Amino acid sequence: MRTPVSDGARHGWVALGTSGERVHAVVLDAAGVTLERVELSAADFPGWAIERESTSAPRWVWNDTPRWYPRLLRAGLQVSRCHDLRLSHLVLAASDLVVDAAALRAASRWHAPPYEAVVPRQPALFDWDSDTARDELPADVDETVAEFARQQAAITQSTDPNRLRLLTAAESAGALVASELHVAGLPWSREAHEQILHDSLGTRDTTTGIPTQIFQLRQQIGELLGDSSVSLDSQPKLIRALHRAGVLVESTSRWELAEQQHPVIAPLLEYKKLTRLLSANGWAWLDEWVHDERFRPVYVPSGVVTGRWASSGGGALQIPRQLRSAVHADPGWKLVVADVAQLEPRVLAAMAADTNLADAAFGRDLYAGIVNSGTIASRSEAKIAMLGAMYGATSGESGRLVPRLRRSYPRAMALVDSAAQTGENGGTVRTWLGRTCPPPSVDWQLAQAQASDSTASEAEVARARRLARDRGRFTRNYIVQGTAAEWALAWLGDLRSRLARLPPAPATERATASGTVFGRQAHLAFFLHDEVIVHAHESQAAAAAEAVRAAAEAAGRLLFGEFRVDFPLDVSIADSAAKE
DNA sequence: CATGATAGCGCG
DNA sequence: AAAGCGCGCTATCATG
C-alpha cells in the first residue's frame, strides 16, 4: 500500500487514455507541456501507476473516475489527487463564472451521464439508444489532453479562477471518495439485520413467505373493516374499504390516516410500517445487497442538480434509522460516526457574511442561539422558521415565522430572497464556488411568454405565476444546498488524505482476505450529505475521530477563509452506527 | 410483457 | 395541521 504524498509543491499531471487494450499516458509539467508519452498494456498499467504515484504524486487526469480508479484501488493504489474531466466539464460548461464556454460546450461528447447510467448493473435491462452511443465519453489520450487544456483555459480566463479551481478539485476528490466508498463498502452485520427483521416482522411462512406479524395484522385489519379479503396494498381498494367502514379519508397517506379516530387506524399504520420495511430492506434486500458483511452501494457524485451526490442501487441514501444498528464494525474495529449540526444555515450565514447568524450558531446549537437572541421563542419554532426561509415557505407556521428571521438576520435572508427573485425572473444563480443552476426549461419560458401576452387567459397567467414561484423556491434552496454540498466535498477530500496518512492497523485475518487497499487502513465507509462514517481499527479510532474534526475545520477555512463561522460535529466512536 | 406515471415513504 | 427544497425505491395501475 502506498501512502499518498502530502500536498506541497505542484507535482504536474499525468493524462490517461485507452486505445483498445492499451493504456496511453501523457506526462505533463505544471505548465501543461508534454514531457513524456508512455504506452502500456492493461496488465502493466497498475504497477506503473503505483510507481508514478510514489515518485511524483501527480494529479491524474482521466475521463471518468469510475472507469479508472476501482482497478487501481484493487491493485493497492490509493491516489492522492485527480482531475475528473467528466464532472469538471459539467460544472464548467454551465458556470456563470466562465466567460466563454463555447469551446467547452462544442466538445459535447464530454457532456455525459454518470457511468452507472451508461454501464448498468444489469446490462440486459438497458436499451442502447443512438443518442447514448453517440455521446459516449471520449477515451483517447489526445482527446483527454485536449479537453484538459480547454478546461484549464476556461478556469484561467474565468472571472474567478480560484473558486473554479477549488470546485473542480473538490468534485474530483469527491469522485475518488465515491470509488473508495464502493470498494471499501459499509460494514454490515447480516446477523444484526436478521435479528431486526425477526423482531419486527416475525418469521416467514414456509410456503407463502409472508411474515407472521404482517399476516396477523392483515387478519386483524380485515376483521376491523368487516372484510377479510380486503386488499391493503392497493390504495383505491383500501380507500373504498375504509369508506365502507366509515373512515372518510381522501388518501392512504400516513399523516391523513393518523388524524382519524377508528380502531383500524393503529394496526393499519403498523401494517404500512412493516410492509415498508419488508419491501425496502427485508430479506430480499439483504440477499441482494450485503455480501461478505459489506453493503456496497454505487455513489453518484454530482448526481443531483445542486451538486449533492445521488446513489444507485440498494437505496444507500435512505437507510432507515431502524436499521442503523446493523451497520456494524468488524471485530477489533470501530465506527466513527460524525455529522454536522445545522450545516445549511451555517453555510448560509457564511455566504451572506451575516455575522449575527454566525454568532448565534457559534460553538452551539444554532437554533438555541436563535432562541437565545430573542428572535423566536422556542427551538422547534426556530428550526421550522429557518427551514421555511431556506425552502421558501409561504404559509402555515413556517411562513408566519420567517419574517422574524428577516428582521434579525437581514443579510442572510436577503441572500435567499434575492436568489428566489432571480429564479422567478428566469435567471440563474450559483453556489459559493460557482456551480450554476440550469436555466429554466423551454416549457417554463413558453408559459411566461404566453402569460405576458395581453390575450392570455386567467388560467395561463395563474399557471405561469405558479411555475415562476416554483422556480423561485428551487433557486432559493439551490444556493444553500449546493454550497453545503461543496463544504461536504471539501470535508471529505481533506478527511480522506488525513486518514490515508494514519499508520496502518495491525495485520488481521480480514485484511488479507479483502484484497484492497483498505484491509488495514482507517477508511471512509459511508457519506450522506452532512454525515460520514469512518471504519477504523480500535487502536486508531480516536485519531480518526480527531481527523474528522480537523477536516471539518479545514473545510470551513478553505471555503470561507477567516469569516467567523464554525461547523461543530456530533462524533461518536462505537461498534454500531445506531443513533440514540 | 414492457414502459411510464403516480402514490407513498425512506433519507438529508 | 401537513407546508416548503433535493433525492431513490417499491408497488400499483394505466397504456402501449
What value does the mean pLDDT take over residues A465-470?
A: 95
Domain at A216, CATH number? 1.20.1060
- Could you give the CA distance from residue A177 to residue A171 in angstroms, rounded to a whole number? 10
pLDDT band at A510 (very low <50, low <70, confident <90, very high): low
Q: Is residue A388 part of a domain?
A: yes
The closest of A452, A135, A166 to A307, measured between CA atoms, is: A166
**The cell 372518510 sits on which residue?**
A248
Judged on CB neighbours under 10 Å (0-12, 13-18, 19+), A160 is middle
* Amino acid A228: pLDDT: 86
Q: Is nucleic acid strand C under 7 Å from A481's C-beta?
A: yes
Least confident of A93-102, A226-235, A300-309, A332-341: A226-235
What value does the mean pLDDT take over residues A177-184?
A: 96
A353: amino acid identity, one letter:
A
* Amino acid A157: pLDDT: 98
Same domain, A361 and A406: yes
Q: Is residue A118 part of a domain?
A: yes
- Could you give the CA distance from residue A455 to residue A66 in angstroms, rounded to a whole number? 53
* Amino acid A55: pLDDT: 92
**What's the Cα-to-Cα distance from A568 to each of A371, A551, A555, rounded to whole Å?**
18, 11, 12
Q: Say how far residue A136 (Cα) sits from the centre of its chain.
A: 24
For the record, the C-alpha cell of A278 comes out as 419488508
At what angle are helices A85-94 and A141-156 packed, to 10 degrees? 40
Straight-line distance from CA A204 to C1' C15, in Å? 35
- Could you give the CA distance from residue A241 to residue A232 in angstroms, rounded to a whole number? 9
Contact A250, A256 (CB under 8 A): yes
DSSP 8-state class, residue A507: P
Q: pTM for this one?
A: 0.95
User: In sequence order, what are the residues at sequence separation of 6 or more whose Cβ sits closer than 8 angstroms to the Cβ of residue A4?
Assistant: A53, A57, A78, A79, A80, A81, A497, A500, A501
**The cell 492499451 sits on which residue?**
A22
Give the phi and the psi of residue A426 in degrees, each rounded to 5: 90, 5
The closest of A531, A420, A524 to A475, measured between CA atoms, is: A420
Q: Is nucleic acid strand C under 7 Å from A300's C-beta?
A: yes
Q: Is residue A100 part of a domain?
A: yes
At CA A222, angle to CA A219 and CA A223, rounded to 5?
A: 90
Q: Is nucleic acid strand C under 7 Å from A397's C-beta?
A: yes
Least confident of A125-134, A274-283, A357-366, A486-495: A125-134
pLDDT band at A579 (very low <50, low <70, confident <90, very high): confident
- Could you give the CA distance from residue A275 to residue A505 in angstroms, rounded to a whole number? 42
- Could you give the CA distance from residue A99 to residue A346 in angstroms, rounded to a whole number? 30
User: In sequence order, what are the residues at sequence separation of 6 or more whose Cβ sits closer than 8 angstroms to the Cβ of residue A513?
Assistant: A519
The DSSP line for A409-473 is -HHHHHHHHHHHHHHHTT---B-TT--BPPPPPHHHHHHHHHHHSTT--HHHHHHHHHHHHHHHH
* Amino acid A21: pLDDT: 92
Positive or negative torsion for Cα A478, A479, A481, A485 = positive
Give the phi and the psi of residue A19 in degrees, each rounded to 5: -145, 105
User: In sequence order, what are the residues at sequence separation of 6 or more whose Cβ sits closer than 8 angstroms to the Cβ of residue A509?
Assistant: none
Same domain, A263 and A362: no
Same domain, A195 and A87: no
pLDDT band at A7 (very low <50, low <70, confident <90, very high): very low
Q: Is A197 helix (H, G, I), strand (E, B) or coil?
A: helix
Least confident of A323-332, A461-470, A505-514: A505-514
**The cell 427485508 sits on which residue?**
A282
Q: Is A233 helix (H, G, I), strand (E, B) or coil?
A: coil
- Could you give the CA distance from residue A462 to residue A471 in angstroms, rounded to a whole number? 14
- Could you give the CA distance from residue A103 to residue A99 in angstroms, rounded to a whole number? 11
Give the phi and the psi of residue A207 in degrees, each rounded to 5: -100, -50
Q: Is nucleic acid strand B under 7 Å from A255's C-beta?
A: yes
Same domain, A5 and A124: yes
pLDDT digits (tens, 9 = 90+) for A347-380: 999 999 999 999 999 999 999 999 999 999 999 9
A550: amino acid identity, one letter:
A
Number of domains in chain A: 3
Same domain, A54 and A111: yes
Q: Is nucleic acid strand C under 7 Å from A375's C-beta?
A: no
**A 118-157 residues, CB < 7 A, strand B:** 125, 127
Residue A130 has pLDDT above 90, yes or no: no
- Could you give the CA distance from residue A478 to residue A304 in angstroms, rounded to a whole number? 11
Q: Give the end-to-end CA distance of chain A in Å, rounded to a whole number.
A: 37
Residue A145 has pLDDT above 80, yes or no: yes
* Amino acid A6: pLDDT: 36
Of A134, A162, A184, the domain-final residue: A184
Of A480, A514, A548, the domain-final residue: A480
As a whole number, the mean pLDDT across chain A is 92
**The cell 455525459 sits on which residue?**
A112
Helices (H) and strands (E) in chain A, counts: 24, 14
Contact A155, A261 (CB under 8 A): no
Q: Is residue A25 part of a domain?
A: yes
- Could you give the CA distance from residue A288 to residue A193 in angstroms, rounded to a whole number? 13
By C1' distance from the Cα of A278, the closest nucleotide is: C10
Same domain, A369 and A405: yes
* Amino acid A526: pLDDT: 97
Domain that holds residue A451: 353-480
Q: Is nucleic acid strand B under 7 Å from A244's C-beta?
A: no
User: In sequence order, what are the residues at sequence separation of 6 or more whose Cβ sits closer than 8 angstroms to the Cβ of residue A358?
Assistant: A346, A349, A350, A563, A564, A565
| Residues forming a β-bridge with A536 | A334
Q: Is nucleic acid strand C under 7 Å from A479's C-beta?
A: no
Q: Is nucleic acid strand C under 7 Å from A521's C-beta?
A: no
**What's the Cα-to-Cα distance from A536 to each of A47, A530, A579, rounded to whole Å?**
27, 20, 19
Q: Is residue A580 part of a domain?
A: no
What value does the mean pLDDT take over residues A16-25?
A: 96
Same domain, A155 and A269: no
Q: Is residue A8 part of a domain?
A: yes
Same domain, A128 and A28: yes
Same domain, A56 and A165: yes
Q: Is nucleic acid strand C under 7 Å from A309's C-beta?
A: no
Q: Is residue A342 part of a domain?
A: no
Nearest residue: Cα versus C1' of C9: A315
For the record, the C-alpha cell of A225 comes out as 373493516
Straight-line distance from CA A128 to C1' B3, in Å? 15
* Amino acid A389: pLDDT: 97
Same domain, A263 and A365: no
Same domain, A157 and A212: no
Q: Is residue A90 part of a domain?
A: yes
Q: Is nucleic acid strand B under 7 Å from A428's C-beta?
A: no
A228: amino acid identity, one letter:
S
Nearest residue: Cα versus C1' of C13: A234
* Amino acid A131: pLDDT: 41
Q: Is nucleic acid strand B under 7 Å from A319's C-beta?
A: yes
pLDDT band at A189 (very low <50, low <70, confident <90, very high): very high
As ranges, strand B nucleotides with an atom below 7 A of a protein CB are 3, 7-12
Share of chain A above pLDDT 90, in %: 86
Straight-line distance from CA A234 to C1' C13, in Å? 9
Same domain, A121 and A214: no
**What's the Cα-to-Cα distance from A241 to each of A115, A217, A224, A232, A272, rounded to whole Å?**
46, 16, 10, 9, 16
Straight-line distance from CA A529 to C1' B11, in Å? 10
Contact A105, A94 (CB under 8 A): no
* Amino acid A519: pLDDT: 83
Residue A292 has pLDDT above 60, yes or no: yes
